Amino acid sequence: MLRDPGGFYPLFHGRRLEIARGLLNTRRAPALDVGCGTGFLSSIGLTNAVGMDIRSSRAVTVRASAENLPFRDQVFDLVFAGEVLEHLNAPAQALDEWVRVLRAGGMLGLSTPNGRLVKLEGNHPEHKHLFTAGDLQNSLARRGINHVKVKSIFIGSVSGRRLFRFLPWRTLKLFLLHFPVPSAMSYDLFLSGMKVPDATGSISQDANQVRD
């Protein structure tokens, strides 16, 4: 576990929850929470969401890989994957799967570190890939996900763990997490978009990357 004496990660997670409430239609059901952990979608009010992860927890109702979903085509109105894509061996295959199980008119949401500034080396030890907002917008568009919105969290050129350790006030820390940052300069990216009715779902050329 990464040391966090300044409390950056709990406040950062709280900001992610706020953004999710604003971008995702929490009235959508059924919903799939990919890599749910302790239950991200349930934290924003979707208590009937299907929680899926490779590890067991109270929030997990289905244990499966994010790259091979055990669901029929077009069964969910909302698919969300928070901080999942960067951990996968085949992120393009995972995107194909998430779009496949999403109904036409449904919403796909995801969050991931910004690969323009956040590096693999020295970051999370389990990260295998990093992506920019442009990478993801292009990949989603090729899979029939349109009207993509991007929200940015924190400035990526500054270590939140180190900075928050020396900041004395929680109010100031929250202000920094809410301060508008261009996606190219952010630490973390949050994207959401809608599946168009004629989306084919699986058009990736390279199952090992999303820059297809």
CATH number of residue 155's parent domain? 3.40.50.150
Please check the confidence at residue 16 and state whether its pLDDT lies above 50. yes
E-strand stretches of the chain: 31-34, 50-53, 62-63, 76-82, 102-113, 145-155, 186-195
Residue at 202 is within a domain: no
Give the pLDDT score at 125.
55
SS3 content of the chain, % helix, strand, coil (to 5): 30, 25, 45
Give the pLDDT score at 190.
95
Looking at 96-100, 173-177, 208-212, which range is the least confident one?
Answer: 208-212
Structural domain count, the chain: 1
Q: Which residue has the higher pLDDT, 77 or 116?
A: 77
Answer yes or no: are the C-beta atoms of 119 and 130 closer than 8 Å: yes
Q: Which domain holds residue 87?
A: 8-195
Residue at 20 is within a domain: yes
Residue at 200 is within a domain: no
Question: Which residues sit opposite 195 in a β-bridge?
Answer: 145
Residue at 205 is within a domain: no
